[in-house]
């Protein structure tokens, strides 16, 4: 766990289309906290990944959001691997039509089976990147799902095209036009900002956003003009749990709701299970879904109430012959940690 206590008060307690803007009726600051159910990388893919034979994982997460009386829900990408099959449509409808408003962020796999504009329409997103204001906060959704076969030419993921990208290509870019949109949206925000993306703006390894330093420069520019403009940056993608404070901003690497993926297959899951989940030999799954309840206060307090599960079939990474830690020293665990911290923006 990388937590730098410089920048927040001693109350911190930790445990193991382009220009679209939406404004909610509750956008104006009220002094009240905003409560959000956060989850990521549920990877609904029946017949392939673990825990996707039915909708129970999603239903349990939504039940938690209702129990906690959340104001909204956010999924941080890789919700599904396409939007066309009857099962996919039913899964999406369950989330989209839930009584608590749910927002989507595009992951690298969300448009595997269709053009990304079709995914945006199904997910009720105006575009891959967009913004909305709610509860006295501005939520800025970034879209790094671009790759380059040649410098300066950005191609958006669609129909699984990034699997066949050219030799020597680079992946996970924020194109120049989107950078300018981010700058205008964040620097000009009347509210504190929460920035969300599927890929990381903070990681050193694990295919972070290629031009993450340009994005961090926008955050720092905004905070130099008005301290506390960018308060929290969240991502999914690597299926890991980590909190890091960088330049007085909390960066949250949100764990998968479902599993960790490994390129090399293992043989620890029951044969009958593998027959109905053909990708599961590449998964170390959780027994129950992971999610978090995020509460934001105007005064700079950020509270995360995480969750903990057990290993599916009792199989840990070590049991399957995998390393426990990645290149950034982050551990694969069926956990989203909890934290309660208050930042100072003097």
pLDDT tens, 170-186?
999 999 999 999 999 99
∠ Cα 128 104 235 (to 5°): 85
Give the whole-angstrom CA distance, residue 42 versus residue 238: 12
For residue 243, tell me if it sits in a domain. Answer: yes
| pTM of the predicted structure, to 2 decimals | 0.92
pLDDT tens, 100-153?
999 999 999 999 999 999 999 999 999 999 999 999 999 999 999 999 999 999
For residue 345, tell me if it sits in a domain. Answer: no
Tally of structural domains, the chain: 1
CATH classification of the domain holding 49: 3.60.21.10
Confidence of residue 316 (pLDDT cuts 50, 70, 90): very high
For residue 1, tell me if it sits in a domain. Answer: no
Domain that holds residue 76: 18-337
For residue 156, tell me if it sits in a domain. Answer: yes
For residue 88, tell me if it sits in a domain. Answer: yes
pLDDT tens, 168-224?
999 999 999 999 999 999 999 999 999 999 999 999 999 999 999 999 999 999 999
For residue 255, tell me if it sits in a domain. Answer: yes
Please give the distance of CA 237 from its chain centroid, rounded to a whole number. Answer: 7
Residue 25 has pLDDT above 80, yes or no: no
CB 148 within 8 A of CB 169: yes
Nearest residue to 331 via CA among 240, 206, 227, 243? 240
pLDDT of residue 31: 74
For residue 3, tell me if it sits in a domain. Answer: no
CB atoms within 10 A of CB 270: 9
213: which strand partners? none
């Amino acid at each position: 766990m990388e937590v730098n206590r410089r920048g927040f008060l001693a109350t911190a307690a930790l445990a193991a289309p382009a220009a679209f803007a939406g404004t909610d009726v509750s956008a104006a600051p009220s002094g009240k906290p905003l409560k959000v159910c956060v989850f990521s990388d549920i990877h609904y893919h029946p017949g392939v990944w673990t825990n996707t034979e039915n909708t129970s994982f999603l239903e349990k997460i939504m039940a938690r959001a209702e129990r906690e009386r959340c104001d909204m829900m956010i999924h941080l990408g890789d919700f599904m691997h396409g939007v066309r099959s009857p099962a996919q449509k039913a899964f999406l409808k369950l989330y989209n039509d839930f009584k608590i408003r749910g927002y989507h962020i595009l992951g690298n796999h969300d448009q595997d089976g269709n053009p990304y504009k079709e995914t945006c329409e199904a997910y009720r997103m105006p575009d891959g990147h967009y913004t909305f204001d709610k509860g006295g906060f501005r939520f800025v959704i970034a879209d790094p799902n671009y790759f380059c076969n040649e410098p300066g030419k950005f191609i958006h993921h669609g129909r699984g095209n990034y699997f066949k990208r050219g030799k020597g290509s680079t992946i996970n870019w924020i194109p120049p036009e989107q950078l300018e949109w981010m700058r205008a949206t964040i620097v000009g925000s009347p509210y504190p900002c929460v920035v969300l993306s599927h890929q990381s703006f903070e990681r050193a390894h694990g295919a972070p956003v290629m031009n993450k330093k340009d994005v961090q420069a926008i955050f720092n520019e905004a905070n130099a003009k008005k301290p506390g403009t960018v308060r929290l940056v969240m991502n999914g993608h690597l299926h890991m749990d980590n909190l890091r404070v960088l330049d007085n901003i909390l960066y949250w690497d949100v764990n998968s709701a479902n599993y960790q993926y490994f390129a090399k297959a293992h043989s620890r899951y029951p044969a009958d299970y593998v027959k109905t989940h053909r990708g599961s030999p590449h998964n170390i799954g959780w027994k129950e879904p992971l999610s978090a309840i995020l509460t934001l206060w105007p005064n700079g307090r950020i509270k995360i109430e995480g969750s903990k599960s057990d290993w599916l079939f009792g199989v840990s990474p070590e049991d399957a012959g995998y390393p426990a830690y990645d290149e950034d020293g982050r551990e694969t665990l069926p956990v989203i940690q909890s934290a309660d911290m208050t930042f100072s923006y003097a």
